[in-house]
Structure 1
Amino acid sequence: MSQIVLARVDDRLIHGQVMTAWLQYTDGNHIVIIDNGTAQDSFLQTVMKMSVPQGIAFSVFDETAGAEFLQKDHGNEKLLLLAKTPATYLHLVEAGVQLQEIIIGGMGAAAQRTKLYKNISASEEERQIFKKLLDQGIQVKVQIVPTDKATNVAGLLE
């Protein structure tokens, strides 16, 4: 039975940390990007696919198709979910996808965002989304790489 081994928010999606540290740490074998914009950009998908190590499956879905994909069994696949924003994960959970934990890895400064923790920024709307995810019993943590100590987002929202 397929298993979600990582659900990560990172506005860069695929980059060195994901490819090396998180793949090794989770023993994942299928990277799944869920992002409406990326799902419509075949050039960006091609560039990302070139950075995926040999032997690792790679898929890109919009939020609706991603939710449908995740509600099906995919054999022995260990899925690494990547999304640019926490709103994507709220959509997935509201569509019935079961998540235990979400790791915040990269949310850079942008309009409407203020500092949440170190170099992680979040808008008021994103903070409310974190609260909704926490209310669903999902652990939400900031952790850039697996060797970093995780910081619980609930404590940052008080």
Structure 2
Amino acid sequence: MVNMEIRLMRIDSRLLHGQVATNWAKVLKVDRILVVSDQVARDNIRKTLIRQASPPGIKVHVIPLMKMLRIYFDPRFNSFKALILVENPRDAQILVQNGTHVDLVNIGALSFNSSRKMVTDTISVDQTDVDAFTWLHDQGIKLDIRKVSGDTSKDLWKVLTEKGLVEQPSRKVD
């Protein structure tokens, strides 16, 4: 079965911003950027700001999680070459659990607050994030830390292990 081509799934609490718009979209040669967020889909101001950040020639859609799953499996959208942006690891997990296929998830930035632990200069996590990353890792999905495509890839799983937030288990094979 053929589905839409997801060229990259990226977790970034900032969603669509200059680096994503100019670098990733160009390098990946996408024709769609799908911002997948239940919260943003209900927020007209944020939707407007995100659409204004879209690079020329690339359509940007802000959609809730369940709509993303519907269009992923809808043959009318199989021609999409998409960059998927989600705000948090849990949303990425939900998409993958429900059949969205990716081999790699890129992590840009996860904002800090007092309930979160900094693991890199741009990524902070709480237990919900760690649980979602653990699930993704156990599915064999590579967790790639890079701000832009030209940066050296760092393995988030290795970082989480070094910080003592996860143990280094062997990957589950289902």
TM-score band, normalised by the shorter chain? Answer: over 0.9
The answer to whether the Cα contact below 8 Å between 2:22 and 2:55 also exists between their aligned partners in 1 is: no
State the 1:72 CA deviation. 2.6
State the 1:60 CA deviation. 1.3
- Report which of the two structures shows the higher radius of gyration computed on alpha carbons: 2
The two structures have a TM-score, normalised by structure 2, of 0.85
Alpha-carbon separation, structure 1, partners of 2:55 and 2:154: 29
SS in 2 for 1:145: coil
After the TM superposition, which residues 28-43 of structure 1 pair with which residues of structure 2 at under 5 Å, given as runs?
28-43=30-45
Q: Deviations over 1:30-75 (max 9, x none)?
A: 0001101111112321222122123211111111111112223424
The two structures have a TM-score, normalised by structure 1, of 0.93
The answer to whether the Cα contact below 8 Å between 2:108 and 2:122 also exists between their aligned partners in 1 is: no
Residue type of the partner of 1:119? T
- Structure 2's unaligned 5+ residue stretches are 162-174
Q: When you count strand as a share of all residues, which structure comes out higher?
A: 1
SS in 1 for 2:19: helix
Q: CA RMSD in A?
A: 1.4
Alpha-carbon separation, structure 2, partners of 1:142 and 1:81: 16
Residue type of the partner of 1:19? A
After the TM superposition, which residues 8-157 of structure 1 pair with which residues of structure 2 at under 5 Å, given as runs?
8-73=10-75, 74-157=77-160
State the 1:125 CA deviation. 1.9
SS in 1 for 2:119: strand
SS in 1 for 2:93: helix
Alpha-carbon separation, structure 1, partners of 2:49 and 2:107: 23
Alpha-carbon separation, structure 1, partners of 2:78 and 2:69: 17
> Identity of counterpart residues, as a percentage?
26
Q: Deviations over 1:77-134 (max 9, x none)?
A: 2100001101001111111111111000011212321011232111122112101001
Residue type of the partner of 2:102? L
Alpha-carbon separation, structure 1, partners of 2:20 and 2:66: 24
- Structure 1's unaligned 5+ residue stretches are none
Who is 2:166 aligned against? Answer: none
Q: Cα–Cα, structure 1 residues 63 and 111, in superposed 2: closer, same or farther, change >3 Å?
A: farther
Alpha-carbon separation, structure 1, partners of 2:117 and 2:45: 32
SS in 1 for 2:16: coil
Aligned residues between the structures: 158
